[in-house]
Amino acid sequence: MGTATARANANIAFIKYWGNQNDQLRLPVNPSISMNLGGLYAETTVTWDGALNTDSFALNGKEESGGGLERVSTHLDVLRARLGFATRARVESANNFPTGAGIASSAAAFAALSVAGAAAAGAQLSERELTTIARLGSGSASRSVPTGFVEWYAADTHEGSFAQSMGAPEYWDIVDVIAVVSKKHKDVGSSAGHKSANTSDLQGARVAGAGERFAICRQAILDRDFATFAQVVEHDSNLMHAVMMTSRPPLFYWLPPTLAIMEAVRQWRAEGLRVCYTLDAGPNVHCICVREDAQRVSDRLRASSDVLDVLVASPGAGAQVTTVSIP
């Protein structure tokens, strides 16, 4: 038993994960594709300690109890079952991006927790298996384990629904310029959202076309074809938000500034900037652009009174163990 620290970047999905065929195992109804967000990471230390009676969890220096601790402890149960021991753990995690800035932190957090937890026990698990373990904590966390551009497969078994890299970070020089329009914590989180996806009449249609969009997006990335990429990424985000808005009860994540920025991005593209938008379960707008146009996009966003903050992320690496000590 020992201690290990791991770092994992957040990621932004280009083809979205929304809805599970099995909520318990987080087996998604459709495959998804994302890019790791270099420099926006969670750093997590796991210490397995035979002297502990319970798990404990501190996030950004603050001791957590209730739901936050429970979700971490449930994930430690997954690791304990896989690694074959019952020892409790101390978990300390910190995000380097502004907390509450609306950047999905569960993906980075559960990827780092899975990788650090295995390393602290001295276990050498394959990357593929680590993606399935991370998935059980948060679906999108499976995509923060491999490097760069990552695809995560939909399957009806735990082993089959894994993620793998389809391109190193250097493969395509695109940038995520994130327009933060609200720092408020979202009212309805993704886990509850996934469960409500099927209450929308539109989810069936979204899922029916997801395989084709996945293939188009994948090929556009491989071809570095920004025009095709922009179309399919915006379309997929719009479809997911249409499902959200037509779920019962409805989920509206957009705020007026969200829509204004989406419209501006389409306008800028018509003027020749290579930029498109995508949104997760929140109002902040991820403006994906080619490196050459990133500065102009970021300047325009900063000039808008709707925008509270702008974060910029390049394609990032996969989860990595930074220190390990096993007595």
> What residue ranges bind ligand DP6 (CB under 6 A)?
13, 16-18, 26, 32, 104, 106-107, 138-140, 190-191, 194, 280-281
User: 115 or 273: whose CB is closer to ligand DP6?
Assistant: 115
Provide the minimum distance between the beta carbon of 50 and ligand DP6 in the complex, in angstroms, as a whole number.
Answer: 30
Burial string for 112-142 (b: 16+ CB within 10 Å, else e) reads bbbbbbbbbbeeebebebbbbbbbbbbbbbb
Provide the minimum distance between the beta carbon of 195 and ligand DP6 in the complex, in angstroms, as a whole number.
Answer: 9
User: 18 or 41: whose CB is closer to ligand DP6?
Assistant: 18
Listed in sequence order, the residues at least 6 apart from 188 whose beta carbon sits closer than 8 Å to its beta carbon are: 251, 281
Q: Phi and psi at residue 273, in whole multiples of 5°? A: -75, 140
Tokens for 65, please give them. Answer: 């109890």
Query: What is the Cβ-side half-sphere exposure of residue 89, based on CA atoms within 13 angstroms?
Result: 36
Q: How far apart are CA 269 and CA 252, in angstroms?
A: 26
Q: How far apart are CA 114 and CA 75, in angstroms?
A: 8
Does residue 19 come out as left (phi exceeding 0), alpha (psi in the -120 to 50 range) or beta? left
